[in-house]
Amino acid sequence: MNNISIDLEFDRRHLWHPYTSLTNPLPTFPVTSASGVYLQLETGERLIDGMASWWSTIHGYNHPQLNAALHQQVDTLAHVMFGGLTHAPAVELAKSLVALTPEPLDAVFLADSGSIAVEVAIKMAIQFQVSRGLPAKTKLATIRQGYHGDTFAAMSVCDPINGMHEMFSGILAQHYFLSSPAIRPDQDWCERELDAARNLLSTQHQSIAAFILEPCIQGAGGMRFYHPNYLRGIRELCDRYDILLIADEIATGFGRTGKLFACDHANIIPDILCVGKALTGGYMTLAATLTTRHVANTIGQGPGGGNLMHGPTFMANPLACAVAHASLQLLASGAWQQQVKRIEQQLRAELLPLNGCFGVRNARVFGAIGVVEMVNPIDVAKAQQGFVQQGVWIRPFGKLLYIMPPYCIEPAQLRQLTAAMAAYVEQLAPD
């Protein structure tokens, strides 16, 4: 297949790409191979990937240890149903997840994708409340500007006004939304930031099963960073009002923020944790939902025979589990800590000076995430063509230029990405 030319006309006419139209498709760029931080295009360009394939390829492409895990596994067991059967890759992966996450989180559900991990988390929370005799606790609470996935339960806790799913609002489950926290991590904390949450939870806690949010960093909803004390306050309120806390760490987990998990910035532990994206090092789709033994045992004593009511066909696929386990072994070596710290320092030095430039609303950095928020929407097709010409892959959305590169990126490679972002800003300046 590698020698077959990519039929871009067929792609344009027949293939939907994420969040695009078949009647007015955006240009696509044909990739033939990838290695390290580079994408090789069929047209000859070699691009530094600033997106890590949407947060996932943290170790870089074509990694020998991850390749070896897949090659070894495919020769013995590529797939088998997880109903009534088990296998070593799933067990070893679960051991690694339990070891990496905080101690109370020791019950693992292996899901197909991040959206499904959120669906399972919501099911867990509601089944937990039903199982303890509180069937009225069926609502979720969350904050605006959030994004938790594109399936229906996940969409119902995404921002209903500023998000991507407004057209479905009439048929989605209705939940409680608070304004997104406004205090940034580098600003002074004020307890009044939690007033709205205190009011909501104190008056509606009897109907709320869980509070779900992305810890410290809201991703696709706007790449917003907020103060860890808000997360700490929500944890305390959930404890006070008998509400579960779901942390969606699908984008932030496994080192991206400078901590292994973004919850670590607030020194809190959720009742349910969703992880995905970087779990397999970007090799295959896989996610996980972890919860505490208390939640698991309570569900296990409830209706429906105590069964958690979810079971994907490809749950715990051995290939995905094997490469995920290898990816977590790479993380356990600890190199990511120095890598992310170095990336953050360089991003601060090279992106924060864009604050105050014409057309820039705000430039900000958190861990290995660099964001330049523009005043006006970005012409994605035009901007992307320009980035490809500069030898980089950056995928803007809305008003946002952002990068979250593989951890293995070298300073000169990262400088090429930030220089391309700066060049985009500079060309907007009036003559």
Write out the catalytic residue numbers.
Answer: 19, 147, 248, 277
Query: Which helix (DSSP H) or strand (DSSP E) does residue 143 occupy?
Result: strand 139-143
Return the structure tokens found at 62: 């074509």
What gap in Å lies between CA 418 and CA 363, rounded to an integer?
Answer: 12
Phi, psi for 248 (deg, rounded to 5)? -90, 95
Return the structure tokens found at 323: 């490469």
Cα dist. 306→15, 130, 133, 296, 300 in Å? 42, 11, 13, 9, 4
Return the structure tokens found at 219: 């991703």
In 358-428, which ranges are E strands? Answer: 360-366, 369-374, 392-393, 400-403
Dihedral angle over CA of 7, 9, 10, 11, nearest 10 = 80
Return the structure tokens found at 250: 């699908």
Cα dist. 261→213, 251, 269, 276, 295 in Å? 13, 10, 10, 12, 21
Dihedral angle over CA of 10, 11, 13, 17, nearest 10 = 170
